[in-house]
Amino acid sequence: MAKLNIVLYEPEIPSNTGNIGRTCVATGTRLHLIEPLGFRLNEKSIKRAGMDYWDDLDVTRYIDYQDFLEKNPGAKIYMASTKAPQTYTEVQYEEDAYIMFGKESGGIPEEILLENQETAIRIPMMNDIRSLNLSNSVAIVLYEALRQHNFDHMQLGGHLTKYEWK
């Protein structure tokens, strides 16, 4: 069973982190937060965006990037960045892959990207667009990784409340 990991490097906007937390709960994905955070985790905007799912979130905090690396030795980390040389669909995500996204104002530092060049990935977009919203980017890449694993632990069919599908 795929147990993917989303890593947020120094996130700054609480509503993005709340939305990402909700996506992680909905997909059975772990969330890793690398400090410093641009907000407090008890802020209303996180709870509002994550709704009542935040208490069900598998989340771990780290004091910095080095702490994250030390506590996750050998982790294969895909670095999502607008500066990356390959697209997010060109890689094969392992069942326990870590997918890192940088802070909203600056992304992942270039020295970290250089150290992880072979796993640096990007979402294609028009040349004159700086970047997509962080929570949208996480959803796009995460669902590709889940698709590659056939959504193996997720409900694939929906149900109507008043009717039945024909």
Helix (H, G, I), strand (E, B) or coil at 88: coil
> Is 81 annotated as ligand-binding?
no
> Is 102 annotated as ligand-binding?
yes
Angle at 148 between CA 144 and CA 153, to 5 degrees: 95
Q: How far is CA 57 from the centre of its chain?
A: 13
Q: Are residues 42 and 28 in contact, defined by beta-carbon separation less than 8 angstroms?
A: no
Is the previous residue joined to 73 through a cis bond, with omega within 30 degrees of 0? no
What tokens appear for 47 in the block?
A: 């709870």
Q: Are residues 76 and 98 in contact, defined by beta-carbon separation less than 8 angstroms?
A: yes
Task: Identify which of 60, 88, 82, 87 has the alpha carbon closest to the alpha carbon of residue 72.
Answer: 60
Q: What residue numbers does the annotated binding site cover?
A: 102, 123, 131
Q: What residue numbers does the annotated binding site for S-adenosyl-L-methionine cover?
A: 102, 123, 131
